[in-house]
Amino acid sequence: MEGRQRVLKLLKGARVRACSVFATEFWALNRRGYGIKSLLEDPEGLLPVVAEEAQNIDSDIFFFLAGLTSVPLMVLGGRFEFPEKGAPFAEAPLVEDRDDLKELDLKKIASDARVNQLRQASVELKRILRDRAMVAVNIRAPFTQAAQMVGSENFMRLLYRDERFVFELLEISTEIFLAYGLPFVESGAEMIYVSDPVASGDLISRKHFERYVYPYLKKIVAEIKRLGTPVLLHICGDTADRLDLIREIEPDIMSVDHKVDLEKAGEILGQRICLAGNVDPSQVMEYGSREEVERKALECMEKAGNRRFLLMPGCEISPDTPLENIKTFLDVGHGLATK
């Protein structure tokens, strides 16, 4: 059975040995000496590089556009710096005040050539990988995207100083998410990977999560699932105190960080949501030995117990992660490891 089929069975309720190493196009390009900007400038030319790297591993899900989640904000006028290595970062806030918010023209997203080229690239990558792996397209969640719009530190201050403006930002950010993300679904994306790192328990309280994150995540997840496309949600850091709220949001798959206890996460999420995680992507996957990778992966599987489970690292892997560690991890996940 190939990777895509394993994931489809998992989503339908089967308990199969499914495994993804959380590899992204960013990982693939960096391995070959390319920065993420190269994909934005020439999706057609760089896609074969991404596809070749994806085919070199046996990961059941391959994550696409994880390094380009800021594209919709670029289209709306945001200025971003592209480091040689690493994801783009904003040179200045897209939104300074309410007047800036009112001037955003969301219609630009649908007509932007870069967006359309990336969407076509996602379709082509799905065609190339076929049953080898399911392609999950990464779209940034409304809360984290709102933070990007005004700058993360400023956004955190606004949570305490100007709640009305925060809600206005979140409403627009949700519209941006849907304007950018739904056409990927309509073009045939088989899975949407929703990332929301600023919603982490390391950054905001459960109270803030419930008030500012929950309603908008629930809305976008419901909208994507209404169109028949599964959602994988990942929130970095410790999310233990908000997993009951995430259970109500109902992503198809919830990916948890290595800081979260898998056994407890499974108990809270219940059986309707597939649990994914959560080997440390840095200390174990990047810097650990093959033996440590195997041991930690087996520990995760034991903690997950007899439930639907997708073995993954606790976050996206670094381009410097040794290939032997990746293959060891995937062998364990697919039941091929030898002791």
pLDDT tens per residue, range 57-68: 999 999 999 999
314 and 258 in contact (C-beta within 8 Å)? yes
Report CA 298 to chain centroid distance, whole Å.
Answer: 23
> What is the arithmetic mean of pLDDT over 158-169?
97
Beta strand 134-140 with 191-195: parallel, antiparallel or unpaired?
A: parallel
Q: Are 62 and 134 in contact (CB under 8 A)?
A: yes
Provide the pairing of β-strand 80-81 with 89-90: antiparallel
Residue-level pLDDT at 127: 97
Residue 181 near residue 216, CB atoms below 8 Å: no
Across the chain, mean pLDDT equals: 96
Residue with tokens 């520990």: 299
Position 86 confidence tier, pLDDT thresholds 50, 70, 90 = confident
Supply 109's token pair.
């997203």
Does residue 135 register a pLDDT over 80?
A: yes
Residue 84 has a pLDDT of 82
For residue 95, is pLDDT > 60? yes
Higher pLDDT, 338 or 18: 18
Which residue from 29, 62, 30, 234 is spatially nearest to 131, judged by alpha carbons? 62
Residue 162 pLDDT level (bands cut at 50, 70, 90): very high
Mean pLDDT, to the nearest integer, of 90-102?
Answer: 95
**pLDDT exceeds 60 at position 338:** no
CB-count exposure of residue 240 (10 Å: 0-12, 13-18, 19+): middle
Over residues 317-331, the mean pLDDT reads 96
Mean pLDDT of the 128-150 span: 97
Query: Is the overall model pTM greater than 0.75, yes or no?
Result: yes
pLDDT for residue 339: 47
Q: Which tokens belong to 178?
A: 């849907």
- Region of poorest pLDDT, from 8-12, 65-69, 134-138, 335-339: 335-339
Of all residues in the chain, the percent with pLDDT exceeding 90 is: 95
pLDDT score at 1: 87
Query: Where in the chain are the domains?
Result: 3-333
What is the fold of 3-333?
Answer: TIM Barrel (3.20.20)
**Paired strand residues for 64:** 137
Q: Are 329 and 21 in contact (CB under 8 A)?
A: yes
DSSP letter, residue 286: I
Beta strands 274-279 and 61-64, pairing class: unpaired
Q: Nearest-CA neighbor of 70 among 43, 98, 96, 90?
A: 90
337 against 323, higher pLDDT: 323
pLDDT in tens, 172-221: 999 999 999 999 999 999 999 999 999 999 999 999 999 999 999 999 99
DSSP secondary structure string for all residues of 77-121: T--EE--SSS--EESS-S-SSHHHHHH--THHHHH-HHHHHHHHH
Residue type, 138: N
Residue 153 pLDDT: 96
Q: How many Å apart are CA 65 and CA 67, to the nearest integer?
A: 5
Q: Is the peptide bond before 278 cis (omega within 30 degrees of 0)?
A: yes
Q: What is the C-alpha separation between 34 and 206, in angstroms, rounded?
A: 39
